[in-house]
Structure 1
Amino acid sequence: MPRWLKIVLKILGGIIALVIVLLLAVTIYINSNKAKLLAKLNTKLNEKIDGSLSIGDISISLFKNFPHASLSLDNVLVRDKKWMEHHHTLLDAKDMDVVVDAGQLLSGTISIDHIDISNSAIYIYSDSTGYSNTSIFKKSNKPKTPSGKSSLEAELSNINLNNVSLTIDNQKGKKLFKFDVNQLKGKMDFPDSGWTAKAYLKVTARSLAFKTVHGSFIKDKVIEGDLVAGSNHTTGKINVTSKNFNIGGDVFKLDALFAPAKVSKNFTFHLVADKILWKSAASLVSPNISKTLYKFNLDKPISVNALISGNFSGGDPLLYITTVVRNNTLTIPGAVINDCNFDGMFTNNYVKGQELGDENSIINLYRLEGRFSNVPFKIDTASVINLTTPIAQGNFHARFPLTDLNQTFARVIKFNEGSADVSMRFKADVVALQINKPYVAGYINLNNANFNYIPRDLNLKNTSLSLHVNNGNLVINNIRVQSGRSVVQMEGRVNNFLNLYYNAPEKLIVNWDINSPQLHLAEFLGYLNRRKSAPVKPAPKGSTAATVDKVNTILDKSHAELHMHVGKVFYKKFLATNANADLLLSEDGIEMKNITVNHAGGALAIRGRILQDNVSNRFSISTVVRHVDIHEFFYAFDNFGLTAPTYKNLKGYLSAKAMVNGKFDGKGGIAQKSMTGNVLLNLTDGALIDFNPLKTIGKIAFPFRDLNNIEIPNLDGDFDINGDKITIKPMQISSSVINADVEGVYSLGRGTNVAIDVPLRNPKKDLSITDKAERQKKRYKGIVIHVKAQDDGTGKVKMSWNKDHKKT
């Protein structure tokens, strides 16, 4: 071995031996002077505080932070001078390592390099007067060291925290910040201008309540990232930045600015996330805000830019949050909007100068567009104001083909053609829609619509209408409805529409003015049929289908007053002109207040009701017929079910009063055997023409009389109707050929039993008698034939002698 190498090895061995001796000396010194060192450490640290500091035990580690020595302190308690009043310990450290200069330690001097705190609790407390337990730290008046650092800065340039609970409790400002610090490791430098720091942070936020009554931001979220901080002595402000600030699994860019107490106690957080889910973003804010945000949702991630600024002394912080949403799916209460795009903004400073908070909050959605139930729409600006009682408002615009509505209105209506143009201003309570009624104003225009109204099975085509809502009233005009050959022009109005819509739909009354050049009633028989039953399975609550079901229910429950004028009314063979009607349509059916028409040279007036339910549609009608041509009248109504005589056999002018009840058969006709009531009639200038039953009898009984044209100057009749049976009350028929007394039951089916008394005296012999009593006496002079028209049991009517006739 070369001599120089031996010398080097001996020197290294000596140095190592010296270090070992020194380390052993330090260890022996500390172990021998533990109490003395502990006292010196307590004294040194208590020089920095205005309160009390106690250390339970001390031990040394020479290799943990070599060449420095680590003093391990156990059960360190730091309390301010008012601890007995508030009982909040500033520092309760179970494990605390104070890294000191080993060489200076041998000389009895403690020079702190850095401090590691583990398994501890830090509680920074301020009472309602503004006093804080951090006042324990005295202001240092010592000059700076040659390096530019004060002795305290040099000693506290590096503090590491592990498994530490950090609480900032501000009773005056009603703020509570509480974090479980899993790890905080950093290094500070102190240039002449101030200080800089780099740190790694991993904490769990148990509370970040800027106002405790509202709850915590980012509650129970894990926060992790690398921080760069700095402060300037001139401004006193602290800047903190991070490019990977992870909150609950979502990565943000962070820029924060703090102004310490001696400046203004202000703070500002600027957070930017390129991609974050709506629910994740909503979970970061306090419950008073999130409870409203949770009512909405977006399926895909969005970008968020949040600015939070305030004052540590008290009050809510100012929030200004923006977002950009593109090609997303937005869920709102009761609806889903697809292909959604908008720029969003939230702030709790809606009205400048007012107190920050929920009542002064607003959510704005700019240039909102999307598809609601397959209907494309646009809203210039939609707003939700006041998070305490959220109010949504905006301007809604949409133009679309009506077929886009089929999926939404499948239970009620099916569109085949047409377009819609909608423009609405709305304002509605998001939470208590039923309590605080919405404001809606604007119009809905439907053009060239062809559709089927399913509950009534009505097919309408070339239909147009314009709905205007203003001051809670609904005005419906420019309506054109066509069903087959019928064309109807309508104008309508519903006063107090929005209030009644929610509170009492059964009180909704639509006033309609209806005009039509011609109306074919057969095309509207759906109104006479009972409504089709609603779907057995109800739509999910809050869904669009549920809203449609509600509208359909309201259509059932509401009332419509119809004031109609129709030039011509057609129904099968019936034709009326100059028809006027006042109708009331309700859930129960149709009330005919006053219907008048001209028909067959005379007039008809009708009053009554059509009662509609899920079983059948019943009617109760009072009719007055004035001087109508009986030939045309019987032709129009298919002889009222009579097989004889028919309209071909009748001539004259009929007047009548009828009160009848019955049921419709679902096809616009009257159900068999359903009609009951009474009919009073009067026939003037009448004639029975070519009535074969009388002609057959007359050839034998009256061979010399003209039975082809039996004139009846006047005839009064009183009939009771009960199903298919018509009871003919005693009726005298006086004619030019024959007189007859008729009484009994005439059946449209089986059961006919009519007694007919026929005086054989020729009525022409009595034409010169002007005295009615004398004429009546002469009526029965001579032979009177008593016959019976009776059902033979098979439905055929046969004539026979009436053996049961009672002589008078």
Structure 2
Amino acid sequence: MLKKILKAVGIFLLVAIIALFAAPFLFKDKIKQLVLKSINENVDAKVAFEDVDLSLFKSFPQANVTIDKLAIINKAPFEGDTLFYSGEVNLQMSVRELFKGDGEAMNIDSFSSENAVVNILFDKDGVGNFDIAVKDEKEKKSNSESKPFAMNIQEYEIKNMRFTYFDERSKVKMVIDSLNHTGTGNFAQSKLDLTTKTTAKVSLDMDQTNYMKNIKLDLDAILGIDLENSKYTFKDNKALINQLPLAFNGFIQIKEEGQEYDLTFKTPTSSFKNFLGVIPEAYAGNLNTVKTTGDFTVSGFAKGTLTETMIPKFNLEIASNNASFKYPDLPKSVENIVIDTRIINETGFTKDTYVNLDKLSFRIDQDVFNAKANVKNIMDNPLIDAKLNGTINLSNVSKAYPVKLDTPLSGILKADLATKFDMKSVETNNYENIQASGNATVTGFKYVDADKKTYAINTADAQFSNQKIDLRQLDVTTGKTDVKINGTLENFLGYAFKNQGLRGNFTMKSNQFLVSDFMTKTETTVNNKTTTTEAIKIPKLINVTLNASANTVVYDNLNLKDVSGKIIVKDEAVTLQNIKTSIFNGLITANGNISTKTAKPTFNMDLGLTSVDINQTFTQLDMLKKIAPIAEAISGKLNSKINLSGNLDAKEMTPDLATLSGDLFGQLLSTTINSKNSTVLNKLDDNVKFIDLQKLNLNDLKANLTFKDGKVNVKPFDIKYQDIKINVGGQHGFDQTMNYNIKFDVPAKYLGTEAYKLISKLTPAEASKLENIPVTAILSGNFNSPKISTDIQQAVTKLATELVQSQKDKLINQGTNALGNLINGNKPKDTTKTTTTTPKEDVKTKVTEGIKGLFNKKKTE
């Protein structure tokens, strides 16, 4: 009997398990059709989802419907904007709901959403993107009789939602990120208590000004909900803004004409720890051990109706009187803290909102700081009236408050400032309505960066007026660099508040300026991870002129002396005007610009070189070494004009040689050549015996070069070695490849001893008829491994031919004369055959022997 019972139970369990697995396949299409029907009947938008799944295990004993990657995309006028997206939406219901007929609605008991995004947008006309419900009343009435789903919610959960609100008219943007929220209550009843838990991070921007950034929010609240009257009442609740506790009372009710608010809020206690709680925990530290005196309270109300034209009246008060705090592990305290601030709207019109910071003061040690400010007409044309004065010893800040600094600060800041202005006057540069006065000084300021470099502001003194800041003195040192600056800044309020351009004119002097003192270390690869350096961008809103001079500027391995010139930073570009420096035993001037307007920075530069040392210039400046690598073998002075343009590396701001183009004109002065310093010249010296490159005179040589696409073209130029004319032209690449033609116009007297003797027997008239012999040398390969070929053998043949032809013409003339004598009765001896052949053969032999000795003789003296 027992065996039969166990067998029956086993069969039942087996059937049940099979049914649990099979049910999703049996009901999946039905659920999917119901989801599609519900969406189509209620939503006027583009809706898409990847799949719909049914599981009897995920939320057992309830059935779970999962909608994967659900997206709701707006139609016009918000075409293409995402209203809602969720990686996963889950609906839970009783299993028996699956067996209802086609006309019966399935009751949803709970739902959850994961990784959702909600975007609520208002355009410039005040139209919202969330109004996507189907408007047809007849359709809604017919659908109400056969809804696919009935929402009898008992609980719900939202995991990791990002909610964004943006109003194009007011430029208000609110982001609620990392939103996690749960709610429990019986929505089948018209009145219920909903128990909620919420955590989130809130950010708020108004008109491009950030007021909150990732403020941590925790709220545990019981809300009394009246569904029939759309009324939501705060009951027992506890809120934390960062670590500031708040309690709410009152209600919010949604009515046809708008949302009615009747809310009050306040801090449940008056401890000054409440103030420290406003500061994010990462910066405020552990508040449990902080000793405080005095009070701090936040209280306020919001009462009225929120409509398209009105807001609730409200009053937010933040107050503290004679408070202090001290962290137990820090030596100093902050005392005599007074805060008296109100944010008020008494009419319900946003334009009438105003802020009164009647007093803010505190003391650290003997240093007292006071400030006050009033802001009116916030929404239309904010009117600001502010004053501050006081002294802060920066080294005391970290001794009284747990500021996390890699290295301690030091220095004394003193300020006594007052300003009054409205934003429209700032925008229009109407300085008559802008008042600013006072001064600020910093002395003994020191800061050590992550690379352990110390930056010291020995003295900074600025005077403020309506139109400008007068920087009377700025004395800065870092590393081995000293800088003194004075000048003026204009439109600082427009730059600070309205994203307008900042104008300035400064004079800078330095005894020694090391560029390396302002450079950061190159990032290295650590644990297979590399950090990328951002591209350097010249500020768009800066328009500053700097007249600079320095006794010494050290850049890499270059020591520049007596540097002076004008630097203009404007419109994402730096312009250099009349920059001068003594270097390479000469003078270099520079004019040009560098621009970062485009994705790839560009530059255009005109350089003037006067009496610079050739060897130093072309060995220490890599770019010029690429343009004229042969200069490494030349000693002496150079005058040159160089025009350069091309792209720059966006991160290193160094020239991209592949894009470099321009031209160079050079004139050599007092030069000598050491061919042993150049592989090319050394090999040329070995192959061409009739000149000695060491004795080549290049004084006053002028040459023109152009370069583009990595190629340098040398315009043919003439030089002279004794009475040998030389013409040089060709090109080489930045990759060191080359192709040059060198043409020598060689007098015949340099063709060997025997040839010289033979030529010397010619009459001057005969010798003058001998033309110079052209010899061509072709240089190819590259500068480190050159290839040289010449046509000297052809030149030898040509010379021999010319000498033979000369003797032949001479003998013909002699024969003609002899024949004339014979005709005239003077018969010559029978030696004509001998004299016509022997000289010809002898001349040819002598010439050939002389030519062959051309490359074996010593250098021409």
Q: Shorter-chain-normalised TM-score: which range?
A: 0.3 to 0.5
Structure ID, larger Rg: 1
TM-score with structure 2 length normalisation? 0.44
